[in-house]
A and B are shown apart, each in its own frame.
Chain A
Amino acid sequence: MTPEEIYKNLSDKFGDSILGLDTELAGDASINISPSAIAEVCQYLSENDAFAFDSLMCLSGLDVGVKEEEFSVVYHLYAMQHRHSVVLKTSIPKTDPHLPTVAHIWKTADWHERETYDLYGIVFEGHTDLRRILLPDDWEGYPLRKDYKEPDFYRGMRVPY
């Protein structure tokens, strides 16, 4: 199925929660989804036989710039059976970044969401074990945010080199 067909189907099913199909830019087309509906949409895409998205290839956070007011979370899905893929994107305000987890749908999302929380500070509601994964537990700040400033010292060790 093409992203256009999937977009049309999702719009019919979920209505206003599907915000649009982004095809203007080069590369992959992405379907914009409102953050509160993301888990339901993913569940629908994975369980419905017409889509059968059984594999979450990649889950990434995205901060486009300091001036932007929103973070994005991007889901790259693939269906082994139908051999089609789709990109889902959802935007959340930087002041209070939280959205539902999809770790109960694809188990790989568990660690990918922890990584996104670790590096962006995006909170995945309903995640059973949301804690830092790559950075030390007592690290301050979220490094992949564009406005991040690295600390001078971490436990007495100089950080910038």
Chain B
Amino acid sequence: METTQQTESKMIELKPFTDEMVVNMGPQHPSTHGVLRLELRLDGEVVREAIPHIGYLHRCFEKHSENLSYPQIIPFTDRMDYVAAMNQNWGFCLTVEKLMAADEKKNFAVPERAEYLRVLICELNRIASHLLSFGTYGMDLGAFTPFLYAFRDRERLLLLFEKVCGARLTYNYIRIGGVSEIIPMEPGSIDEQNFLDEIEEFLDYFEPKIDEYNNLLTSNSIFSERTMGVAVMSAEMALSYGATGPNLRGSGVDWDLRRDEPYSIYDRFDYEVPVAKDIPELGAVVGDCWSRYKVRMDEMRQSVRIVRQILAEGLPDGPVMADMKAVRPPKGEIYFRSEAPRGELGFYIVSDGTPKPVRVKGRSPCFSALSALQELSRGLMVADIIAIIGSIDIVMGEVDR
């Protein structure tokens, strides 16, 4: 009798019953990449449910847009993904250009020189964005040094952006019909040569650094343990949740809008699209946090490759703005998507033929990717939540718009 009781009490100790506890993570937690609040329902340290609450940075950019002319909306798109503002500007400008192209009388061609400058700046911006993602991800998981390395090198890119547009954050360079003319950089001038030389110098410096980052973090065993095999997102799940860009390629789907639905002049360059693969000797599984992270690291190298090709060709001569009158798209509507560093950035614009749009909707890649968090985190540990948020690389300015 006594022995039975003892066994019973032992079993109770082995399976301690804990009440469900609700913990609010955020909105001010430093590793939530902005102001994201997660309502965690915990069983001990196991997450039963992580419910994201967003909207802390909501400014209703879409309502603002309805009262502004098309060129005036461009600065508002900067504030969506402030880490990759050039790509956001470009996405919006491409959409307006596409809608204007639907009317023959209003159609215009973006000059060659502007197209090259756009690709050049946006690929550099992609590197800057991935650098930030790499640095903060390391810091989220307890490695402080990568953060300092990433910001040291990102600084050189920010100086370049400052040269073309005067700003270090919310850079605003791309216009509807071309790029900003405010920089006195005549074709073939010494200024242009200096600018291109500076970029080349940066690339020569930066390319070996990628190996250094990989040595520092990618193959670090503490980092691998925290990320490999954690929160595996299957290809079907990624597609269903609308996860795009590095998150989709991290799930093994070979898809990149720059290659598969080429816009601008991306079809002229030679580059690869990094896609995650199973690496059994390391323990990486397609779709885990590590794979999503690794795709970004590999993408930086491809961006360097594209920029190098532009430098080798040199910028073409000619104007940087199209010969166009007022921006007044025809009556109609369009949806156009481009490949921003965080995935597929779409804009849906409805025009009634006046200088102001009737409706602008920004389809944010982070918004869709973040909605997968609830399903991804079910049954994992609290510490894994941090690993997931960093690996899907969200910027709350874009989620909340």
A-side interface residues toward B, CB under 8 Å?
25-28, 30, 54-58, 60, 62-65, 74, 76, 80, 83, 87, 106-108, 110-112, 115, 119, 132-136, 143-144
Contact = CB atoms under 8 A, between A and B. Distances in A.
A31 B129 CA distance: 38
Contacts of A115: 367
Nearest to A57: B346
Given A26-B332, A62-B359, A83-B260, A55 B239 contact: yes
Nearest to A25: B332
Given A26-B332, A106-B240, A119-B62, A64 B55 contact: no
B305 interface: no
Interface in B226-259: 237, 239-242, 253, 255
Interface in B86-124: 98-99, 102-103
Contacts of B401: 134
B10 interface: no
B62 A26 contact: no
Interface string B352-387: 100000110101000110011001000000000000
Interface residue SS majority, chain B:
mixed
A87 B348 CA distance: 11
Given A27-B99, A58-B361, A76-B348, A87 B335 contact: yes
A133 B364 CA distance: 15
Contacts of A56: 242
Contacts of B60: 119, 134, 143-144
B54 interface: yes
B371 A134 contact: no
A26 B241 contact: no
B102 A26 contact: yes
Contact of B346 (A30, A58, A87): A58
